[in-house]
Structure 1
Amino acid sequence: MPDTSSDTVDFGFSTIARAQKSQRVRDVFNSVARRYDVMNDLMSLGVHRLWKREFVGMMDPRPHRTLLDLAGGTGDISFQWRQRGGGPVILTDINEQMLGVGRGRAEQRGLIDGIAFAVADAETLPLADASVDRVSIAFGLRNCTNKERVLSEALRVLKPGGRFFCLEFSKLQIAVAAPLYERWSFAALPAIGAVVANDRESYQYLAESIRMFPDQETLATMMRDAGFARVSYRNLTGGIAAIHAGWRI
């Protein structure tokens, strides 16, 4: 379990002052914002598109349900929610450049109606208690400084009967594939990042941040400790990623 009382926190495999992490993460995503879809394709070999489809399906979009999309970045989850019949969306991200990419994509695709955009920190949400039906965060929780606070805030803004969903890289469950996955993450991915985006360091951090993220059972325990009920998770592609879900009762 992470030590939230410490003055230091992980930044990939490095340890930095807790107060510095938000800015360091912001710098990474400022660098990769315009290449964010390419980054996800590289990190997941393109499978993230299937994972997101399953993720949104599990959220059960309905016209009367409001979605808060945390760390929503370029808008993939929000767009699918709306296209599959979901109600209004509040798409948030702490990074203004990422949010700008999302807004531009929404305008190009004719999806701007029904989506509100807000620069917001998932650890201190500017929303009223019990105000949304669904809260989602896809590939964003591992970059947050205080993950417990994010979970607490998600629970606070959910209506009773609402649900929280997290899609995140997780712990591979197929031991025989682990060496190949390690070589891809720590040798191939940063090298490709250097060529594609001229940014080896950001891709190195992103690979390291996956390894530092809590495994499936640990995150499930964190969600229960935050107050979520009926917590469950589903492994994707052998545990390379996982979808966690919990209810506010």
Structure 2
Amino acid sequence: MRLHRLGITAFGPFAEPQEIDFDALSGAGIFLLHGPTGAGKTSVLDAVCYALYGSVPGPRQAPGTSLRSDHADAGTPTEVTLELTAGGRRLEITRRPEQDRPKKRGSGTTKDKAQSWLREYDGEGWQALSRSHQEIGEEIEQLLGMSREQFCQVVLLPQGEFARFLRADEAARGRLLGRLFDTRRFAAVEQLLAERRRAAEAKVRARDEKVRHAAPRHAHAARDT
């Protein structure tokens, strides 16, 4: 997966629209996300996770919490847009969480449902693919090969979730790493070698049995001579 662009509006501490050009940042092959406490570093990573999976890591989306910036204008919708390449496909994901907005007529507010959009660039322009939360989630999880929980554990290292991965038992780590690095071909070779080992062991046991059965006869024949 390669990130190209992230747009954030009224999300976390970002009241005004912000855009991050990852292509420009990664021109040297690597970049550092840094800043003082409260600068919004975690919120940038949260926005990436939210765009991909429709939720943010851990307790930051617990009941009663909100992704919306407390400083945003009431009429500005909370929105995250992520442009990325995954599986050789150039995609754009836009998500808006459930949120209140001023009524178009009269006073008070009304609640807008969460919305998601997925588009793909076909070389000439952007083509709409889906507005279904479930379809987009399944598409992204299949392309990345990771669920949200796995993504948070393995990719979002600053979130501290990686420690949980390190504390996981060997079987759990093996399943996750096997999925991340697509070790199916190595597992197939391992299975083939194991089958050949078992077949060789079976042949050795069969020959040992023949030797054990033949030994008394040879010993008896030797005494008779």
TM-score (normalised: structure 1): 0.26
- Bigger relative contact order, structure 1 or 2, given CA contacts below 8 A and separation 6+? 1
Higher-Rg member (1/2): 2
TM-score (normalised: structure 2): 0.28
